[in-house]
Structure formats: structure tokens, C-alpha cells
Amino acid sequence: MVVNGKKLNIGYGDHTVVRDMDINIKAGKITSIIGPNGSGKSTVLKALTRLLPYKQGSVFIDGRSLKDYSSKELARNIGVLPQMHSAPPDFRVKELVGYGRMPYQKWYQKNNSEDDKIVDWAMRSTGVWELREKSIHECSGGESQRVWIATVLTQQPEILFLDEPTTYLDIAHQLEMMQLVKKLNKENGIGVVMVLHDLSQALEISDWIVVIKDGKKYDEGKPEDVITPKMMKEVYDVDCDIIHIAGREKPLIAYKEIC
Amino acid sequence: MDSTKKRKVSALRVGTVWLLLAVLLIVLSLTAINVGSAGYSVKQILTALFSSEKSTVKTVVVNLRLPRLILALLIGASLSSSGAILQSVMRNPLADPGTIGVSAGAGTAATTILLLFPQLTGSVPLFAFGGAALACFLIYTMAWKGGVDPTRIILSGVAINSVLGAYNALLQMLHSDSLEGVLAFMNGSLSGRSWSQVHTLMIYAGIGLVLSFLCIKSANTLQLGDEMAKSLGVNVSVTRVLLSAVSAFLAAATVSVAGMIGFVGLVVPHISRILVGSDYKQMLPTSMLMGAVVLLAADTLGRTVVPGMEIPVGIVMSVIGGPFFLYLLRKRGKMIGS
Ligand SMILES: Nc1ncnc2c1ncn2[C@@H]1O[C@H](COP(=O)(O)OP(=O)(O)OP(=O)(O)O)[C@@H](O)[C@H]1O
Ligand SMILES: [Mg+2]
């Protein structure tokens, strides 16, 4: 499943935030969107997933206009984890994950045994099976983030859109989340589009990187081609070196000393 | 936040709450039939009910207390259900039917009829219902901008409510000598209601309450937030409008029969949420049951606490509901789901 955005202008009210954006998401790959705070990453993600209507341009999913998809059909094909999300704290994990089956149901239907199997599968794949009887507030930040991924996974999407899936997570949980993303991509062939702030992680995990600066696409390409000292200087105004280390497939980013 | 309020809600807990409410409901119903300006013994009542002869006991119980009892139950359940549903629409535990103009609309229509067209007084319920529906419709039309979101609904609600409030105040000022009927309407009361009102409300509340049950899944999904609900394939704006319509319908039906009764729609869902959690599968039925209990208690209290005088149930609810709500807020701090 491929997603193509062409000449997108996106914004809020009269205020246009993203201009002239061409963005192409390849099937079954991990694509990361990077850029400074407020550059428009979430805005692009929302437009591609129809959470926010775009003002101009077009979005095609598998050659069909985004506007022609019914809400449920879209939700069966793409799963979105927005940057901000919350559930009533007393909802149970397995219940929340169960909502992922909604795109396959009529408004009055409940989960049947077939749905339950998929819910179980999603909880196992994301490692939240043990938490299933707990309520959301009993989960740690990392756990609840995985619960949300499980919910979205239950939609059985071909592409997952994740907006900063690692925010608020400690480094161990961040890496765990990245491993989970990689696993879902590899084992289940799910395409992933995510907004990331940690560039080392983006560099390591992504097949493709899109850099956004001030609502415009600054560059896109393979991680090693895009993440360069020049880009870091121009987009983030940060000095760094890219260091290759023997025995490591991907290079590391060494930021200029802080003091 | 204290940890007790967020504990998992077990089936046992829900069952216990429902059982307790059911027992309360029965006890209160028996009390409501029993007490009043004329006190009868249980034996007197039973003998009167099962004899074919006419008696004062029978008249009082069958024609006065019984319809009033049923009305109180229906109204309590309807208002609580209305409030509970609206709170999911607004994603705000402080929303109540007044927010979407139901009270102001009904009040405006009733005041207009009572003061300017007294010859139509008999049709006040009909006009009140229409006024409530119209005000609600107006608020949603104003709030609609490619969709509705809670903030815009609340803002246009504030605007419409204040305009209607000013109109009401003006009208009452100009007709300050004939306000009796208006006051009775504004301070919702069940005094002097009869079987005909019961029959009307049974139909409307019946429809409304059944519709509420159909709202459960949607209400739950709205609690996940707009973006999450949308990404699950829910048309959030349409859902909001449909749920609001059910909520407004229930509130308008009760307002037209009993006038304005505040606080039930606000306090009862709140307590239910504390007791059984925020899942509407449990929370909505709990609210209905508790609403019936609370309103019946308030009405019975209102007509017995001062001998020889009736305090309208709307006033009892405000007097008890206000401070109780304050107490809850202070004790519980931030509420679940907010
Ligand atoms: N709901 C909104 N209404 C109005 N303006 C918004 C809204 N959301 C975002 N913006 C504006 O759009 C611009 C881009 O925001 P966006 O959320 O896309 O940035 P981002 O790249 O995701 O930033 P971050 O890294 O902080 O998440 C910002 O200037 C922001 O102020
Ligand atoms: Mg963002």
C-alpha cells in the first residue's frame, strides 16, 4: 500500500502551516519524518490520515483519492496513533485494545470470537498480554504506549502512522518501542510512518527519511544521505559530526560538546 | 490523585451497586406511596387497593401518589441518562442539558405562552418541548463549521442561553404581577400531575431511554478523544449530533412535563462514574437507576418535610444537589475522565 501526497497545502483555519508538500510513502517500509518543533510534522501526518482536511493538493492511497475512502474502509487500511491520546484511566487494557476492531463492525456490533482472537494476537505481538486485565492507569508510560500500539494494530492496517511513539519513554523503553516497530514491519510486513525526534534512532531504523523545515520539505532520501552535518546545521542549527564505527552498520551522530 | 477512585471496577462491584440501588428504589417507592399529608398504614392501603369500593385512600394513592411516583422515576432516569450522554459528547464531566439550551429554550417557550398567550396554557408542555428542541438546534447550527467540537458547542450555548435568559427576564419584568405559573415551571415540580402526564412521558422517556442504550458504544468511543475515534473509523461530528439529539430529547421530554429540574443530570452521572467507572455499559444503567432513586427521594422529601406545604422537587434538588456536588468536587479532586 503506497501513499502519495502531492502539492499539499495544510493548515488550521485561515492559517496555512504546510506548503507545497510532496510526500511519498512506500509500501512495507519504515519512513521517518523529522524536523524541529512546530515545523509541521504532525500536521502532515494528520493530513495523510484524514484527521485534518488539507486545503490544496491531493492524497492518493494505492492510486485512489483519500477522499473516496469511507471512514471505516480507511481505518481498515491505515492505523494512526496521534501525538496526543488519552482514554478514561479506568478502561481495561483488553477493552481498549478491543476498540481497534470497530472499523470492521456496524455501530451496534460487539467483538465476536474472531475479533477476540485478533485482539489477543495484537496484545501478544506488542507484549501487553500480561497487562490485559489491568486498567490503563495501572500501566507505566512505556506499557501504555504499547497498549495504544496494540489498539492500532488490532485494526490490521497495512500502514501504521505513529506520531512520536517514544515521547515520555526512558531510553530502554524507547529502544524497546523501536524494536517493536521493526518487528511489526519485518514479521507482519506492516508499513510504518512515524515522527521521530531522536535522529540516531531515525537513522538506524528508517528505510527512508523526510526532513521538514518551516512547513516545507527540506530533503528526503536514505538515512545516511539525508542526515548530514549540513542538514543538521541548516535545519536544527546544531553542529555535529557523523561518525562511522567499525562493526556497526549505521553511523552515529556526535553532537558538538555542550560546554 | 487518590488511588481508590481509579481502582479497577469489578463485576462484583457493579452488581453490588445495582443491587443496592434496586433495594433503595423499592424502599423509597413504598415510602412515597405511604407518606404524605395524609398518612395511611400499609394495611389501610392494601385493603383499599384490593377492594372494589371507592375510598379516599384509594383515590389518594391511585390518582395522586402512584402517578407522581412513576413520573419521578421516569424523570430521574431520563435526566441522568441525558446528562451522562451529553458528558461524553462534550468530553466534559460538567456538561448538563442546560449547556445545549434545553432549559433556556423550554423556559422561553413556557414563559412566552404563560405570560403572553395565557389562553394556550394547556399546551405549555408541547411548546416547552418545541422550545427546547429549537434552542438546541440553534446552538448546534451556530456551532457547526464543517463539524462540531465541544468548545464551539459550549460557546454558542453560552451565547444563546444568555440571549434567551435576557428575553425571559425582560418578559417577567413586564408581567411581574402574573408570574405564578412561570415560577412553578422554572422550579420544576411534580405537584398535581396525573396519569395523563404519566402516559405521555412513558412514551417519550421510553423511546429516549431505549435510544440511550443504543448510544453506549458511541459514547465510549468519544471518550478516546476525537483523533483516536476518527482513526477508528468513527464519524465524530455525526456521532456528536446524534448523541446530543438523544440527550436533548430526553431532557426536553421531562422539562415539558415537570418544568426545570437541575443538578440530577450533572450529579448523578458523576457519582455513577465514581462508583462503577467510565465505561458506559455500566455507567449509563447505573445513572438511570440512581437518577430514579434520587429524584424520587427529593420529591418525597419536598412534599413531606414541611407539613402542609410542598417544596418543588426542583428546589429540593438544587438545595441538596449544589452543596453535595461541591462536597464531591472537594473530596474527589479531579474526576475520572476529565
Ligand atoms: N490545532 C491547531 N490549531 C492551530 N494551529 C496549530 C494546531 N496544531 C498545530 N498548529 C500549528 O501548526 C504548526 C505546526 O504544528 P505541528 O504540530 O505540525 O508541528 P510538529 O512538527 O508536529 O511539532 P512537534 O515536534 O512539537 O510535535 C505550529 O506552528 C503550530 O503552532
Ligand atoms: Mg508533532
Q: Judge whether B35 lies within some domain.
A: no
Higher pLDDT, B5 or B198: B198
Q: Is the pLDDT of residue B19 over 90?
A: yes
Q: Report the CATH fold assignment for A1-77+158-222.
A: Rossmann fold (3.40.50)
Q: Judge whether B187 lies within some domain.
A: yes
> Hey, which residues does A23 pair with through a beta bridge?
A5
Whether A137 and chain B come into contact, CB under 8 Å, resolves to yes
Domain parsing of chain A, residue ranges:
1-77+158-222, 87-156
pLDDT in tens, B282-303: 999 999 999 999 999 999 999 9
Q: Judge whether B325 lies within some domain.
A: yes
Q: Residues in chain A with pLDDT < 70? A: none
pLDDT of residue B306: 87
Model confidence at B5, pLDDT cuts 50, 70, 90, reads very low
pLDDT of residue B4: 40
pLDDT of residue B338: 38
C-alpha cell at B160: 444563546
Q: Judge whether B16 lies within some domain.
A: no
Establish whether residue A11 lines the binding site of ligand 1, counting it when its CB lies within 6 angstroms of any ligand atom. no
The mean pLDDT of B267-295, rounded to a whole number, is 95
Q: Starting at the edge strand that comes first in sequence, how are the strands of the sheet with A191-195 ordered?
A: A78-81, A159-163, A191-195, A30-34, A208-213, A216-221
Rounded to the nearest angstrom, the minimum Cα separation between B253 and chain A is 25
Element (H, E) at A5: strand A3-12
Establish whether residue A17 lines the binding site of ligand 1, counting it when its CB lies within 6 angstroms of any ligand atom. yes
Contact A157, A79 (CB under 8 A): yes
Rounded to the nearest angstrom, the minimum Cα separation between B95 and chain A is 17
pLDDT of residue B336: 43
pLDDT of residue A239: 93
The mean pLDDT of B255-271, rounded to a whole number, is 90
pLDDT of residue B1: 38
Q: Is the pLDDT of residue B6 over 70?
A: no
Q: Is the pLDDT of residue B83 over 70?
A: yes
C-alpha cell at A222: 536514505
Q: Judge whether B21 lies within some domain.
A: no
pLDDT of residue B121: 85
SS3 A11: strand
What's the CATH code of the domain at B102?
1.10.3470.10
Q: Do A99 and B278 touch (CB under 8 A)?
A: no
Q: Judge whether B50 lies within some domain.
A: no
C-alpha cell at B131: 422550545
**B8, B223, B231 ranked by CB distance to A49: nearest:** B231
pLDDT in tens, A192-240: 999 999 999 999 999 999 999 999 999 999 999 999 999 999 999 999 9
Establish whether residue A19 lines the binding site of ligand 1, counting it when its CB lies within 6 angstroms of any ligand atom. no
Task: Give the other-Cβ count within 10 Å of B213's Cβ.
Answer: 15
The mean pLDDT of B314-333, rounded to a whole number, is 82
Structurally, chain B folds into a number of domains equal to 1
pLDDT of residue B292: 97
pLDDT of residue A65: 96
The mean pLDDT of B57-68, rounded to a whole number, is 85
Q: Please state the atom number of ligand 1 nearest to the C-alpha of residue A197.
A: 25
Query: Which domain does B138 fall in, by range?
Result: 64-337
Give the DSSP letter string of B285-338. HHHHHHHHHHHHHHHHHHHHSSTT----HHHHHHHHHHHHHHHHHHHH-SPTT-
CA distance to A56, B99, B194, B262, per residue, from B71 (Å): 56, 24, 9, 16
Tell me the angle at which helices B195-214 and B66-90 cross, rounded to the nearest 10 degrees: 30
pLDDT in tens, B137-176: 999 999 988 888 898 999 999 999 999 999 999 999 999 8
Q: Is the pLDDT of residue B329 over 80?
A: no
Rounded to the nearest angstrom, the minimum Cα separation between A92 and chain B is 8
Q: Do B277 and A137 touch (CB under 8 A)?
A: no
**A76, A102, A134 ranked by CB distance to B234: nearest:** A102
